[in-house]
Amino acid sequence: MNAMNLLPLQVTGLVTLAVVAAAVWIGAGDGAGRGALRRAVLLADRGITGLASVAACAALAIATFAGFWQVVARFATETPSIWSEALVRTSLIWMAFLGLGVALRTGALVSIDVAHRYTRGAVRATIEAAALACSLSLMGVLFWFGWVMAERVVFQEMAGLEVSMAWGYAAIPVGAVFAMVGALGHFLDRRSDDLEMAV
């Protein structure tokens, strides 16, 4: 593995460790400074995750409209639309990556609920910190390489839409940022306690 391939992993690892350490510090104390910082992070999380949720719903609505129009154009008017299939595909990609942040925020992804449920104290805190580190590391890699891919295809056009392919690939780094915020928000304020009876 050459140095170019190691750099994203090294940067992602260092940033992840720093963010997890800061999150543990913020979440561990009751001091006025820590409490204010926690509230500020959760307020930003609420706004950012809310924006991701609205944008993901809008992307689904666009995909639904474009798919409906494709069916109408093909079977009712017998003049297939050249743009609708590409718009459906791109909208669904954006919906999935924006929805990832919302899913991480609510703890709806595959998680370690059983380990969380049956542990207490330092063991539980360690498991939660490790889960946050894994999520942030994966999202950091997605952000880095998604950004690189979006830059590579900026001069290519999507067939049917006649816009840059970078608009499709941009869903990866943008969604990764939303997902990082969602993972951090979930760490500081767990909302999946309704799954306690799932075992």
User: In the chain, where are the structural domains located?
Assistant: 33-189
Amino acid 118: pLDDT: 82
Amino acid 6: pLDDT: 81
Helices 84-106, 32-71: axis angle to 10 degrees equals: 150
Kindly report the pTM of this predicted structure: 0.86
Q: Is 179 helix (H, G, I), strand (E, B) or coil?
A: helix
Q: Are 175 and 97 in contact (CB under 8 A)?
A: yes
Half-sphere exposure of 172 (CA within 13 A, CB side): 17
Max CA distance (Å), the chain? 68
Question: Whose CA is closest to 53, among 16, 112, 125, 104?
Answer: 104
Amino acid 1: pLDDT: 52
Q: What is the pLDDT along the chain (199 residues), one digit of tens a residue?
A: 555 678 888 889 999 999 999 998 888 766 667 888 888 999 999 999 999 999 999 999 999 999 999 988 888 887 878 888 899 999 999 999 999 999 999 887 766 677 777 888 888 888 889 989 999 999 999 999 999 999 999 999 988 888 999 999 999 999 999 999 999 999 998 765 444 444 4
